[in-house]
Amino acid sequence: MGLGMSYLRVPPELDGEHDPARIARRVFGDPAWRGRPPGELLDLGGAWQALHYLITGDPWDGPEPGCDVVCGGRLLTEDGSEELGADVIYLAPDRVKLCADHLAGTPFRAVAARFDPAAMVNAGVQDAGHLDLRARDRVLEPAYTALTRLFAAAATEGQPIYKTMSETP
């Protein structure tokens, strides 16, 4: 069992509500949130940390704005992820825009140069021991492309991105 990450674009205001923590509880408190259209929802599953490593060269940190794509943002569930079944992280629209610009200006082949499963295992990247060139090309590259599109759409619409992290089977 590992951790999986999903991304959701949500309008900055939801039925008159502007507080990200309250919006998160409303959205993620309803199990139907996983049924949102692919343009609004992206599930990276367990590939999140490998992508973060490719983007930043580090399993958890790295330079901004790249580190915000996966690991950045404000944790909204410090006091109760149990009620939602996941931790929820909020990335404000201004930071989404910086990430979108960074992703748009950084093609996958540039970050793929960091793909080194042995180094990733040594750094503690989740599931890195199972990665090979096929996984890079069939999983990580499409996920990077999807992230780029999601962030671009959110930035264009001035939306924040909410990320959820939960255990996967």
Tens of pLDDT, residues 139-154: 999 999 999 999 999 9
With 0-12 / 13-18 / 19 or more C-beta atoms within 10 angstroms meaning exposed / middle / buried, residue 113 is: exposed
CA distance 21 to 58: 28
pLDDT one-digit tens code per residue, 35-54: 999 899 999 999 999 999 99
DSSP label at residue 93: H
pLDDT one-digit tens code per residue, 49-101: 999 999 999 999 999 999 999 999 999 987 655 777 789 999 999 999 999 99
Residues 6+ apart with CB under 8 A from 18: 12
3-state secondary structure of 125: coil
Average pLDDT of the residues in 151-158: 98
CA distance 123 to 37: 34
pTM (2 d.p.) = 0.94
Cis link prior to 31 (omega < 30° from 0)?
no
Report, at the CATH architecture level, how domain 2-168 is classified.
3-Layer(aba) Sandwich (3.40)
Q: Residue 169: what pLDDT?
A: 65
Angle between helices 141-156 and 93-104 (to 10 degrees): 130
3-state secondary structure of 141: helix
